[in-house]
Amino acid sequence: MPKTHAIRVEKAGGPEQMKWVELDLPAPGKGEVQLKNLACGLNFIDTYHRTGLYPVPLPTGLGLEACAIVEAVGEGVTGLKAGDRVAHASGPVGAYAERRNYPAEKLIKIPDAIDDKTAAAMMLQGMTVEYLIHRTYPVKQGEWVLLHAAAGGVGSIASQWLNKLGAQVIGTAGSPEKLALAKEQGCHHVINYRTEDWVKRVKEITSGQGVAVVYDGVGKDVFMQSLDCLKPRGYMVQFGNASGPVPEISPLLLSQKGSLFLTRPTLMSYTATRADLELSAGRVIEAVTKGWIKIKVPHTYPLKDAAQAHRDLEARKTTGSVVLVP
C-alpha cells in the first residue's frame, strides 16, 4: 500500500504532542478523491483540536484547510478529475499531510489566477469573514464596527472587506506593529487593547453611541468589556477563543446592557449544505480575484515543523495568514 507522511496527535496537549509520522494511504473510497497537498492553512481552531478544547477522537490528524491537486477519483465522484486544483476548509480533520483522501462534495475548484499559498490561506478565514459580515450580521454602509485582533488572519481579511462595504471600522490589536498593519488594511481607528482603556476609546470615537456589532475572535480577555461597546440592540458576534473560552452569562445581562443580541456562530453551520458552501466560497474567490481583499501570507513553515508554527501562533507572534508547505 502506498505511504504518506502526516502530523498525528496521540493525546491532547501542547505542540509537543504533534508528531511527523508515516501512514498507509489506501485508494479513495466512494465519494472521495485522493489529494496531493500543495499548501496547508494554519488556523486557531487547529490548536483547539490539539488541546482538546474542541474534542476530536484520538489519535487524530490536524488541520481543516488546504490547496491540493486531485490525484485519483473514487467511485461515484462527478465534477472532479485527476489534475484539478482544489481547496477545502472543513472536516474531517487531517489536512496536515502530504497526501490524503477527502470527501469530494466539500471541495471547491480554484481558478488559475489564485496561487497555491493564497488558496490555502483564504478559504477558512475568508469564508469565516464572509458569513460574519454578510450573513450573521449583514454590515451596512456607514455603520460602526468593532473588530478584535484586527491584524490576525481573520482580522486582516475582515478589515479590508468591511472597508469595501463602507463600514466605519475600529480595530484592536496588542502591539504598535499590529496596530499599524490594521490601519494599513482598512481600519479607520485602531486601539491597543493592552495599554488603552479601549471601551472608553470606542465610546469617544463613536460620539457615545457605541458600535452596531462587535466581531470577537479573542474571547475571554475582551468579551465582557465588548458588551459595553455596543449600542442598544447591538450584535455581539463571538466566534473564537484565542485567549480562552468566555464566561457564562445570564440572558438578563443582555437586557440590562441594552437589549443586546449574542450569537456564537461557526463556519461549519454556515457552510453545511453544498449551496451554502458554494455561496461562501464563491464570494471569497470573487473578492480575491477582484482585488477587494489581499490575502497576506507573511509566514510559511515546512509542514513537518507544524508544532513550531502552533507555538508562534499561540504566542501571537504571527500576523496575517500562516501556511504550512509539505
Task: Specify the 3-state DSSP secondary structure of 88.
Answer: strand
Name the pTM for this structure.
0.91
- Bridge partners (DSSP) of residue 324 are 40, 301
Backbone angles phi, psi at 27, to 5 degrees: -65, 150
**Cell numbers at 105, concatenated:** 462534495
Per-residue model confidence as pLDDT tens for the chain (326 residues): 899 999 999 999 999 999 999 999 999 999 999 999 999 999 989 999 999 999 999 999 999 999 999 999 999 999 999 999 999 999 899 999 999 999 999 999 999 999 999 999 999 999 999 999 999 999 999 999 999 999 988 999 999 999 999 999 999 999 999 999 999 999 999 999 999 999 999 999 999 999 999 999 999 999 999 999 999 999 999 999 888 889 999 999 999 999 999 999 999 999 999 999 999 999 999 999 999 999 988 899 999 999 999 999 999 888 878 999 99
Q: What does the alpha-carbon distance between residue 318 and residue 322 come to, in Å, rounded to a whole number? A: 8
pLDDT of residue 239: 95
User: Rounded to a whole number, what is the largest CA-CA distance in the chain?
Assistant: 66
Q: What does the alpha-carbon distance between residue 267 and residue 270 come to, in Å, rounded to a whole number? A: 5
